[in-house]
Chain A
C-alpha cells in the first residue's frame, strides 16, 4: 500500500505508540494512523483513495509502476520523522535515502534520482543539519543514486521533532519485470534475505537502556544491488517487499491479502540473531513484528528458488538468505506459522504499533 508511515526508526520510539484497539469514527488523526498497519490502510482507503482516484493508486503498491512515453518507471515517496536522529549503525539521513531506494528496488527498479524535502524546526543546530546532510550524501553515493532536487521549509519551534525529511524517487523498471503481490501463486517459495529484527532492536536499545556484548547496529542498507543479482537469475520473480514498520509479519500479511494466496512459514527457519531474540524476550516483543531497514522478502517461482537463493547468498547483503516458507492454496489471505514444536499459529497483521508487554 502507499506508504503512509512515519519513519520506522520511531517504531520503538515509545512516544509514537499507536492505538491497537482503535475506536471507529475517529474525528481526529491519532498516532496509529502512521503505524503502517491496519489503521494506516484505513486512512488510505477512506480519505486518500476516494479523494485522488486514479488507477495507479488503486494498485496500492509501495512504489507506483507507471508508463511514461513508452518507458516503465517506478515512482515512490517516503517520509521520515525520527527520534533519535542518530542511532547505532545509521541516521535519519541513511533511512531517508535507503527507504525510497528500497521501495523502488522492490519494483525491480534501480533508483536513479531522488528529491528530498526538509521540514526543519526553528532552532535546529547547523552542525546537526550538516551531519544529517552528510549522512544522506554518503548513503546516496553508496546506493548509486543522485539527489537531483529538493526543498526546505522551516516551522516554528515546538511544531516539529527537529528534522523531518521526505524523499521521492524514480527508476527504470527492467523489461520483463513485473513485481506485485497479485503475481503470487501457490507453490511460490518465500525467501528472506537475512536476519530480522535488527534495526528495531538497535533503535530500541537507545531508548530502553539495553546494552549488548557486541553492539547491535541497524541493518539500514540500499538493496538495489541485491535485487539486481536476483533479477539476473530471472526477471520472473513474483513479488519483493522490504519489511520495515510492522516487520516481516506485516509484509507477509500485505502480500497474502493482496494476492489472495495463503502463506505458511516455518518458524525455525526464520533467522533471528540471538541478541535480537533476547532483547525482544526481555521486553515482550515478537521479532516478526520488529522493523528492518536492509532486508527483503521475496516470493519466487518454485523452479527458480534454488538459483535465486544462491545468487542472494553470493551478495554481501544476502549472505544469510534463507527459505522460510511457501505460498499455499489453503487459508487464502492468511499467514500461518508452523511453530518450533510443530503446532500452528496465525501470524496476524498488526493493527497499529508494537507494544511491549509485561503479561
Chain B
C-alpha cells in the first residue's frame, strides 16, 4: 500500500537506528501513548533493535485496556436484553466483565455483532426497525469523530432505534495523570499521531513545558516509530522539552477543524474512570445535552451492577511504568492472556500481554499458553 511500505523500509530503519545508537549516552524512559504504536513495536521487534538504554514504557492508549470494568458490565447488561442488537469494534470483544463477557452473552441468546465502522451499526438499525441497535462507542479522539458523525446522521435521518454507549477518553489528561504520579519514570512521550490528525497539537506545548518532557507526535509505521524515538532521544540528550511533529504527512498543527466542530456539538467533556488508573478529571467525552436521547445509558437505565476488579491486579503501576509486568506476582501464573486479571493483560497491546508475548524468549516459562493475536 502506498505510503505504508515505504515507511517499513529496512535500510532506512537501519539508518534511523544507527542515528539513535550514536546519539544515546545514558538511559532514558520513553512512553508511547497509543496502543497502535505498541502494536507496531512488538510486531516488528523494534524495542529489541533500540539501544538498551532506551526503554519504551507502553502507555494507556488502548481502549481495551482502559475501558472501565463498570462500562463493560453495562455493555454486557444491555447486550443481554431481548430485542437489542449490540454492535462493537472487534477489539472490545476480548474484554471480560465481572464473571462473563460478550461471548457468554451471545451463547445465552444475545445478538452481538462485530462491525468495522459505526456506520455499519447505523445501517443495521435502518434494516431492523423492530430492534434496538446499540453501538459501543469506545476509543480516543481518533474514533470520536466517526462516532459523532454516526449519531449526527441518526438524528438527521430520523433513525430512532439507534443509540451509543459512550466511553470515549482523551489523551492529554492521561499524560497529565501519568506525569503527576510522584514515582512516575516517564521522561518523554511519543504522542499518538492519529489523535493529533484530528485534534492538532495545540494541547501539548503546555504539558511539555509544565512537566519538562519532550513530546514528539509520532506515526505508526516502523520508520515513524524510529523517527519519533530519534527525535525524542535527541531532545533528552540536549536537555530540551518541546513539542515536535514527526508525522507531518498526516498531522497539521490545527488538526481537522470540521471534526473538532462535530465533536464540540455532539460530545461534552466529562470525568472518566480509566481501568487500572482511576478517575481522571475531564478525561472523557459523553453525549451532549442535545444528543442525550441517543445515549444508551439513558435509554436503557442500567442499575444494580456490582463490579469486581481482581485485587491482585497491578495494571495501574504497570501503566505508569512503575512496575515491569514480570515483577508482578500474578504475571504468568494467575494472570495470563488467556485468563487476564486486569486491563494490561487483556489486549495484545497492553504492556503485560506484550511482555508475555515477546519476552518469553528470554524468560522461558515451563508451560506456554496461547495469547491474543498480536
Contact = CB atoms under 8 A, between A and B. Distances in A.
Contacts of B107: 28-31
Given A341-B222, A343-B45, A336 B1 contact: no
Contact of A346 (B36, B115, B349, B357): B357
A175 interface: no
B49 interface: yes
B364 A331 contact: yes
Interface in B333-369: 337-340, 346-347, 349, 357-358, 360-361, 364, 368-369
B307 to A, nearest CB: 16
B39 to A, nearest CB: 7
A283 interface: yes
Contacts of B4: 281
Contacts of B43: 339, 345
A123 interface: no
Given A208-B116, A289-B373, A351-B371, A358 B44 contact: no
B337 A351 contact: yes
B370 A359 contact: no
Contact of A348 (B8, B101, B373): B373
Contacts of A150: none
Given A15-B113, A348-B370, A20 B361 contact: no
B10 A340 contact: yes
A257 B103 CA distance: 27
B225 to A, nearest CB: 10
A23 B99 contact: yes
Given A345-B45, A346-B357, A359 B347 contact: yes
Q: How large is the interface on A (under 10, 10 to 19, 20 to 34, 35 or more residues)?
A: 35 or more
B48 interface: yes
B338 A339 contact: no
Contacts of B371: 348-349, 351
B338 A22 contact: yes
A359 B360 contact: no
Contact of A350 (B95, B106, B373): B373
Contact of B103 (A24, A30, A340): A30
A243 interface: no
Nearest to A23: B96
B42 interface: yes
A354 B42 CA distance: 18
Interface in A158-212: 208
A14 interface: yes
A349 B369 CA distance: 8
A38 interface: yes
Contacts of B264: none
A359 B106 contact: no
Contact of A334 (B45, B64, B360): B360
Interface of A: 14-15, 17-24, 26, 28-32, 37-38, 208, 249, 257, 274, 277-278, 281, 283-284, 286, 289, 331, 333-334, 336, 339-351, 354-359
6 contacts: A17-B103, A19-B104, A28-B108, A345-B357, A349-B370, A359-B64
Nearest 5 CB-CB pairs, A to B?
A: A343-B45, A355-B90, A19-B103, A38-B370, A356-B90
Given A21-B340, A29-B107, A346-B357, 7 more contacts: A17-B90, A21-B372, A336-B361, A343-B48, A344-B358, A350-B372, A358-B89
